[in-house]
Amino acid sequence: MWRATSKNFVAQASRLPQLEAERQSFAFMLIKLICDGVPVMYFDETSFQLEMTMRRAFYPRQNKLVLPIPRGQRRGFSLYGCIGSCVRGGAYFEVHDSSNKEDFMAFMRNLEGQLIQPELPVTRRKRPVLVLDNLAAHKGADRLLIMERFAQVQFIPAYSCQLQGPIEAVWSLVKRRVRPKFTELQLRDQCTRARCIELVQQTLEEVEVATFANLLRVHYRYLVRTFQQVQDELSSCFSSPSKKKKSQL
C-alpha cells in the first residue's frame, strides 16, 4: 500500500508535469480499448482491521462512551477484488491473510477461471485488459506469466489510484457498510476474525450486479471528461492571440 508521507508528496510535486502526461496517456489508452470493445478489468486489494476506529455513535446522554483507539500492529485480513464486464457476476473477491506475492498469485490463478468467454471463434476473441497498481507483490516474471495467460497487463502510473476508480469505489462502499457492524461487535466483545470476514462477505453479496456495471460506466465518463478537459486546455494554449482577445471581449 502507498503511504502518504512528506517524502511521497515531495516526489509527486517534482514529477507533477510528467505524471499528468502519463495519466492522460493512460486514460486515452483505456478510452480507446473500451471503444474497441476490449473488456477492461480493474484489480486492487485492501485491508480490514478488526479494531476499526469508530467515527460516530449513538449512546445515552447520561452515560459516557469510552473506546480504546486502535494503535500499533492490529489484527486484520486482506481482501482481493477484480471488477469488470468480463468477470462472472460483475466482480470477483477473495479473502487472504496478507498482500504478499503468494496470495496474489493464488488469486490470479482463481480469477482466470471466473472470466466469461464470449461465444465467438478464438481468432475473433479480444483478450481482456487487467489494470492494477505498482505494488511490489504484483511485479515479477512469475506473476506476469500467470496474468498474461488470460489478460493484457497494464500498470497504472505512480500516484494515480483515480485510474482504478471502479474497484476503489467498491472498497469505499464496503467499508462504509461494515464499519458500524465491526464497532457493534467490538462493543459486545464479539469481534473475532471469522465473524468479521463473514460480515464482509455478506456485504459483498448484498451489492447488486447492476452496481458494478454502473461503477464501470461512471469511470468511463470520468476518463472521457478528463481527456476532453486536457484537450480543451491544449487548444486554448495554442489558439491565436486574436481569438483569445475575442473570447475575453
Instruction: Report the percentage of the chain scoring pLDDT > 90.
Output: 44
> Which amino acid, one-letter code, is at 155?
F
What count of other Cβ atoms lies within 10 Å of the Cβ of residue 246?
Answer: 10
Amino acid 57: pLDDT = 64
Mean pLDDT, residues 98-123: 85
The sheet that has 40-49: what strands, in order across it? 91-96, 76-84, 40-49, 129-132, 152-155
Q: What is the sign of the dihedral through the CA atoms of 106, 134, 149 and 213?
A: positive
Mean pLDDT, residues 25-46: 92
Between residues 183 and 149, the one the model is more confident about: 149
**CA terminus-to-terminus distance, the chain:** 50
Mean pLDDT, residues 53-62: 67
Domain boundaries, the chain: 20-50+74-248
Amino acid 231: pLDDT = 64
CA atoms of 100 and 137, how far apart (whole Å):
6
Q: What would the grid cell of residue 86 be?
A: 468480463
CA-based radius of gyration for the chain? 22
Q: Is the pLDDT score of 43 beyond 60? A: yes
Q: Is the pLDDT score of 63 beyond 60? A: yes
Mean pLDDT, residues 40-50: 91
Amino acid 152: pLDDT = 93
pTM of the model: 0.80
Lowest average pLDDT, out of 31-35, 72-76, 123-127, goes to 72-76
Homologous superfamily, domain 20-50+74-248: Ribonuclease H-like superfamily/Ribonuclease H (3.30.420.10)
For the chain, helix, strand, coil in percent to 5 are 55, 15, 30
Between residues 46 and 20, the one the model is more confident about: 46
102-127 burial string, b = 16+ CB within 10 Å, else e?
Answer: ebbbebbeebeebbeeeeeeeeeeee
Task: Show Cβ contacts of residue 226 under 8 Å, excluding neighbours closer than 6 positions.
Answer: 23, 24, 27
* 181-209: pLDDT as tens digits: 887 787 677 778 888 899 999 999 999 89
CB 154 within 8 A of CB 179: no
What count of other Cβ atoms lies within 10 Å of the Cβ of residue 43?
Answer: 24
Amino acid 73: pLDDT = 52
Q: Is the pLDDT score of 173 beyond 60? A: yes
Q: What would the grid cell of residue 164 be?
A: 482504478
